[in-house]
């Protein structure tokens, strides 16, 4: 069976990474357009680099949780593609081998002029850290107002999937939130989120609970 898994910040919440829009989420303490847009980076690159340095340091200190692990286990039985909005590497660390990052990756940096120059980057990223082209490096993150280069590949995966599992996303950010529209009418959708943004239908099964309990339940159903 072909399974597409769409994940958002909620899948990593129980690893200790804050979501964006829950109360006490990241966008409560930070102005999104200041830290996650090309204009914000142009205005205050130091503050933007520091915001992502904090996120990167935190990521290196946390571990995948039961939800990431259950999704990795699903690969033993089915053809699984994870399509994540998350910039962490917790799916990979849990063992998933087929992960599409729609919004970039925190452990990579790229040239702020030539976006094809991408480097692995685990330490802090500072002003003065330059690419081979001698330009400032920036986080390899898709910021608001920027293209989402992986969206077409992701849409094709969703189109072919027999089952779609959606975990921990408020479905507020496009084009990611629109991916589910590509699903074929015969597919089944499982939606796992303690505060689900869509309701149950014949085709959509909603699990109103945390990822660490809901995802293993769905994985069990698909065995
Ligand atoms: P949000 O913060 O918008 O939504 C998080 C979702 O996770 C909510 O629906 C919560 O109910 C749910 N949630 C919280 N705890 C959970 C748990 N333990 N288990 C399961 N679900 C839980 O995060 P996203 O939808 O991922 O983009 O946000 C999408 C994009 O907006 C992000 O990729 C980011 C942000 O701006 C960029 O930075 C480019």
Q: Give yes or no: residues 108 and 94 share one domain.
A: no
Residue 199 — pLDDT band, cuts 50, 70, 90? very high
Domains: count for the chain: 2
Identify the CATH number of the domain in which residue 43 sits.
3.30.1600.10
Considering the entire predicted model, what is its pTM?
0.97
Q: Give yes or no: residues 28 and 97 share one domain.
A: no
User: 172-195 burial, b if ≥16 CB within 10 A, otherwise e?
Assistant: ebeebbebbebbeeebbbbbbbee
CA distances for 58 relative to 32, 36, 107, angstroms: 19, 18, 12
73 C-alpha to ligand 1 centroid (Å): 23
Q: Give yes or no: residues 168 and 211 share one domain.
A: yes
Q: Give yes or no: residues 115 and 219 share one domain.
A: no
Identify the CATH number of the domain in which residue 182 sits.
3.40.50.1220
Q: Give yes or no: residues 205 and 215 share one domain.
A: yes
Domain that holds residue 47: 18-61+104-141
Which pLDDT value is given to residue 39? 97
Q: Give yes or no: residues 115 and 191 share one domain.
A: no
CA distances for 81 relative to 22, 169, 178, 180, 216, angstroms: 26, 17, 17, 14, 17
pLDDT in tens, 30-67: 999 999 999 999 999 999 999 999 999 999 999 999 99
**Angle, vertex CA 85, rays to CA 213 and CA 120, nearest 5:** 110
| Ligand 1 pocket test target in 7, 12, 20 with most atoms within 8 Å of CB | 20
Write out the DSSP string of 160-171: H-SEEEEES--S
Our answer to whether residue 103 is catalytic in this structure is yes
41 C-alpha to ligand 1 centroid (Å): 23
Alpha-helical regions (H) of 61-210: 66-73, 90-94, 151-160
């Amino acid at each position: 069976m072909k399974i597409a898994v769409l994940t958002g910040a909620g899948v990593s919440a129980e690893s200790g990474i804050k979501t964006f829009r829950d109360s006490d989420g990241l966008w409560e303490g930070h102005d999104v357009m200041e830290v996650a847009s090309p204009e914000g980076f142009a205005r205050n690159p130091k503050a933007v680099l520091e915001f992502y340095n904090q996120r990167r340091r935190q990521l290196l200190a946390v571990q995948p949780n039961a939800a990431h692990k259950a999704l990795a286990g699903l690969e033993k039985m089915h053809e699984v593609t994870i399509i994540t909005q998350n910039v962490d590497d917790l799916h990979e660390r849990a063992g998933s081998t087929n992960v599409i990052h729609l919004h970039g990756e925190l452990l990579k940096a790229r040239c702020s002029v030539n976006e094809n120059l991408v480097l692995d980057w685990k330490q802090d990223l500072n002003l003065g850290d330059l690419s081979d082209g001698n330009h400032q490096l920036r986080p390899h993150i898709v910021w608001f107002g920027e293209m989402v280069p992986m969206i077409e590949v992701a849409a094709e995966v969703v189109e072919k999937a027999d089952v779609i599992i959606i975990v921990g996303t408020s479905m507020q950010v496009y084009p990611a939130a629109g991916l589910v529209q590509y699903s074929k009418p015969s597919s089944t959708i499982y939606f796992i989120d303690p505060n689900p943004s869509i309701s149950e239908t014949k085709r959509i099964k909603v699990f109103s609970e945390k990822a660490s309990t809901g995802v293993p339940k769905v994985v069990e159903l698909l065995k």
